[in-house]
């Protein structure tokens, strides 16, 4: 079939392309080279190598700290952790131009006319990779300031179409203000969730449930017996409900009349108030308090004096029936029992982070930036990182976004606040959340020896693990320290080290990382449900070990599978090629 452009001349095609380039599209546009961007993802292979000396606590390691460009780290993680991360929190550079962002080994110049586009493209490439890491019930949380928020939101909507849930607002400081007598002391956390994601919410407050009348159905509270209709809209809902114990009649609120009918009404679909009364479901407020108008003139006089009952109106359809009755001063409500409430019924969390609720106080205040600075100074003895987020902020976000066994990623880890938040939550509820912290060295021409990842990101976790401060008790979490390095695809057969392949395979199979034993002919990692083997060279002990093994969750890899299979003496084992497996996963 001929293409739609086959009949166009060269000049017409050029004109069509120029028109397309001139045409504005709905959304955010920035300067980018799509071909170059696509090529960058698969320009080379990324391996991660464990540095045992910089790792903390003995192996196996459930947590990872990765040193390197986060673009490279994310490419490795997409190979090893695709679809498994429950919560990604990042605090990316805000692109202020005030030495907050190292790009191409130097700080971005705020006078650069392409600064915004460079920043957007920088984040776009990384967020596109991060998208593939999210679990089906995962969420991405991104901190940003007011100046860059609009750009970032529109870009994120391109990266994650249909996933925007909203924005949290949190107060970064107190008392600050800028020009125009307008305070800019708030930052934002953008929220993008996969279809199955939900925040945990907060427990409903059940303190208003009690059982003063010893109702056999258990504790109860009372709800309104009203509907959002006025006495003019629902004239048939304007009647008295009588308390048989006191003989007092209760009129409806004329602006919100009764939501139930009375016996004799036609078309009733729910129980009339008389049945509710017999079932001991009605509650009479201000019981025993009433007013009485013995004549219509007395009632009209009360209208003129503005002392009439609060629910009285001159044009009520039953105004004459008010005469000679004891008119209750309270209202009538209906019992709602605690046993009928859903066990998982929760309140949604507010977009204002100053008021995340807890079981005890219903109001825990998220800290300001100064709290984050104090926390870093308390551990390091000095301010080693500018404007760190407070642990309380990240802790509550992670608490709401993850469960006790989930994986949390921060690929702009900075001072490792996210790692501390995860550690605090695990200490609090006994959970086994895991973290992956990615941070670069941020070395520049002016500071070639700088290593933020080693000296701040990882060091903060080490200090927490070693601290004897009571407030950090039970926080210890070991981690493997890895470095990214690039390998040309054509050089993989020679340059990919067995230890690097072992780390990637363990991560792919959701196993904690261990150190590779280069002296052993084959390495084994047996998890609770998975057995992983990497064969470097054949050894008769492998055949003996394979006898009678359950093949369902057994994964055997080798550099030259065919040669190993020949030596297995007919033992049927699926042996996968190391190089081809990793490359296929890497280029997915």
Please give the chain's pLDDT, 588 residues, in tens.
Answer: 456 677 788 888 888 777 777 666 667 777 776 667 666 778 899 999 999 999 999 999 999 999 999 999 999 999 999 999 999 999 998 876 656 666 655 555 665 556 677 888 889 999 999 999 999 999 999 999 888 889 899 999 999 999 999 998 887 766 655 666 677 778 899 999 999 999 988 777 777 889 999 999 999 999 999 999 999 998 888 999 999 999 999 999 999 999 999 998 887 888 999 999 999 999 999 999 999 999 999 999 999 999 999 999 999 999 999 999 999 999 999 999 988 876 556 777 777 665 444 443 334 456 666 776 788 787 887 767 777 788 988 999 999 999 999 999 999 999 999 999 999 999 999 999 999 999 998 888 888 899 999 999 999 999 999 988 888 888 899 999 999 999 999 999 999 999 999 999 999 999 999 999 999 999 999 998 899 999 999 888 888 888 877 778 899 999 988 888 887 766 677 889 999 999 999 998
Task: Compute φ and ψ for 178, nearest 5 degrees.
Answer: -120, -165
**CA-to-CA distance for 145 and 152, rounded, in angstroms?**
10
Q: Looking at residue 195, what DSSP letter applies?
A: T
Sheet with 248-250: strands ordered across: 241-243, 248-250, 326-328, 290-292
What sections of 59-171 are H helices per DSSP? 70-81, 115-131, 146-159
How close are the terminal C-alpha atoms of the chain, in Å?
31
> Hunting for tokens 């959002």 — which residue is that?
228
Buried b vs exposed e over 513-549: b needs ≥16 C-beta within 10 Å?
Answer: bbbbeeeeebbebeeeeebbbbbbebeeebeeebeee
CATH 3.10.450.50 fits 10-41+63-198+350-477, yes or no: no
Whether the full predicted model's pTM is greater than 0.75, yes or no, is yes
Confirm if 405 and 433 have CB atoms less than 8 A apart: yes
How crowded is residue 489: how many other Cβ atoms within 10 Å of its Cβ?
14
At residue 103, φ and ψ (nearest 5 deg) are -135, 130
The domain locations on the chain are 10-41+63-198+350-477, 220-339, 507-586
Which residues does 586 contact at the CB level (< 8 Å), separation at least 6?
42, 45, 46, 75, 76, 78, 79
- 3-state per-residue secondary structure call for 559-581: CCHHHHHHHCCCCCCCEEEHHHH
Contact assessment for residue 545 and residue 521, using Cβ atoms and an 8 Å cutoff: no
- Considering only CA atoms, which of 240, 64, 25 is closest in space to residue 154? 25
Give a three-class secondary structure readout of 457-490: HHHHHHHHHHCCCHHHCCCCCCEEEEEEEEECHH
From residue 24, alpha-carbon distances to 20, 21, 150, 155, 452 in Å are 8, 8, 18, 16, 41
Question: Which secondary-structure segment (H or E) carries 89?
Answer: strand 85-90
Instruction: Please give the Cα distance from 274 to 293 (Å, whole number).
Output: 25
Q: What pLDDT sits at residue 177?
A: 58
What is the C-alpha separation between 99 and 122, in angstroms, rounded? 16
- The residues with which 481 forms a beta bridge, in sequence order, are 65
Q: Are strands 407-410 and 85-90 parallel, antiparallel or unpaired?
A: parallel
pLDDT of residue 25: 66
415-417-423 Cα angle (round to 5): 130
Q: What is the 3-state secondary structure (H, E, C) of 502-559?
A: HHHHHHHCCCCECCCCCCCCEEEEECCCCEEEEECCCCHHHHHHHCCCCCCCEEEEEC
Q: Judge whether 525 and 531 are in contact, CB under 8 Å.
A: yes
pLDDT digits (tens, 9 = 90+) for 109-147: 665 556 677 888 889 999 999 999 999 999 999 999 888
Q: Which tokens sit at 378?
A: 């308390």
Neighbours of 295 (CB within 10 A): 10
Q: For position 403, what pLDDT does the model report?
A: 93
363: which 2 tokens?
A: 């109001």
**Residues composing the chain:** 588
Question: Checking DSSP bridges between strand 407-410 and strand 434-439, what pairing results, if any?
Answer: parallel
Structure confidence by residue, pLDDT tens digits, 425-452: 999 999 999 999 999 988 888 888 999 9
Give me 488's structure tokens: 């040309």
Residue from 95, 88, 89 nearest 151 by CA: 95
């Amino acid at each position: 079939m001929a293409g739609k452009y086959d009949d166009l001349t060269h000049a017409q095609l050029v004109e069509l392309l120029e028109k397309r380039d001139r045409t504005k599209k709905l959304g955010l546009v920035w300067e980018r080279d799509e071909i170059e961007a696509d090529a960058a993802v698969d320009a080379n292979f990324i391996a991660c190598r464990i540095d045992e000396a910089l790792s903390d606590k003995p192996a196996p390691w459930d947590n990872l700290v990765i040193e390197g460009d986060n673009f490279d780290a994310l490419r490795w993680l997409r190979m090893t952790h695709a679809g498994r991360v429950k919560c990604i929190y990042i605090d990316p550079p805000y692109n202020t131009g005030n030495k907050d962002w190292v790009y191409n080994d130097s700080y971005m110049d705020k006078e650069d006319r392409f600064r915004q586009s460079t920043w957007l493209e920088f984040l776009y490439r990384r967020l596109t990779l991060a998208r593939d890491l999210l679990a089906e019930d995962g969420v991405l949380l991104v901190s940003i300031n007011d100046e860059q928020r609009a750009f970032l939101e529109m870009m994120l909507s391109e990266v994650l179409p249909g996933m925007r849930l909203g924005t949290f607002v949190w107060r970064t400081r107190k008392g600050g203000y800028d020009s125009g007598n307008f305070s800019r002391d708030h930052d934002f956390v953008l929220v993008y969730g996969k279809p199955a994601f939900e925040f945990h919410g907060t427990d409903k407050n059940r303190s208003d449930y009690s059982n003063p009348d010893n109702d056999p159905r258990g504790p109860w509270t009372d709800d309104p017996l009203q509907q959002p209709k006025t006495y003019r809209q629902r004239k048939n809902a304007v009647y008295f409900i009588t308390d048989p114990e006191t003989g007092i009649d209760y009129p409806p609120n004329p602006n919100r009349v009764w939501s139930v009918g009375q016996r004799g009404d036609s078309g009733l679909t729910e129980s009339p108030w008389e049945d509710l009364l017999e079932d001991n479901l009605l509650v009479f407020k201000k019981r025993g308090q009433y007013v009485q108008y013995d004549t219509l003139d007395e009632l009209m006089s009360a209208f003129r004096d503005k002392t009439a009952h609060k629910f009285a109106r001159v044009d009520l359809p039953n105004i004459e029936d008010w005469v000679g009755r004891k008119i209750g001063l309270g209202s009538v409500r209906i019992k709602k029992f605690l046993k009928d409430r859903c066990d998982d019924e929760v309140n949604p969390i507010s977009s204002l982070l100053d008021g995340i609720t807890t079981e005890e106080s219903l109001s825990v205040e998220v800290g300001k930036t100064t709290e984050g600075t104090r926390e870093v100074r308390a551990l390091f003895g000095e301010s080693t990182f500018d404007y760190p987020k407070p642990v309380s902020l990240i802790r509550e976000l992670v608490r709401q976004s993850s469960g006790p066994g989930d994986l949390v990623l921060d690929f702009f880890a900075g001072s490792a606040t996210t790692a501390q938040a995860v550690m605090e939550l695990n200490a609090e509820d006994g959970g086994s959340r895991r973290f992956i912290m990615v941070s670069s060295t941020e070395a520049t021409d002016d500071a070639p020896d700088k290593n933020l990842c080693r000296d701040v990101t990882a060091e903060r976790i080490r200090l927490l693990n070693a601290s004897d401060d009571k407030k950090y008790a039970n926080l210890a979490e070991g981690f493997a320290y890895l470095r990214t390095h690039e390998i040309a695809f054509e050089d993989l057969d020679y340059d990919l080290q067995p230890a690097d392949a072992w780390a990637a395979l363990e991560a792919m199979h959701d196993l904690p990382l261990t150190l590779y034993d280069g002296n052993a002919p084959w390495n084994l990692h047996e998890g609770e449900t998975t057995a992983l083997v990497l064969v470097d060279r054949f050894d008769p002990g492998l055949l003996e070990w394979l006898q009678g093994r359950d093949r369902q969750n057994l994964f055997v890899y080798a550099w030259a599978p065919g040669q190993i299979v020949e030596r297995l003496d007919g033992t049927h084992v699926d042996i996968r090629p190391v190089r081809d497996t990793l490359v296929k996963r890497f280029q997915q």
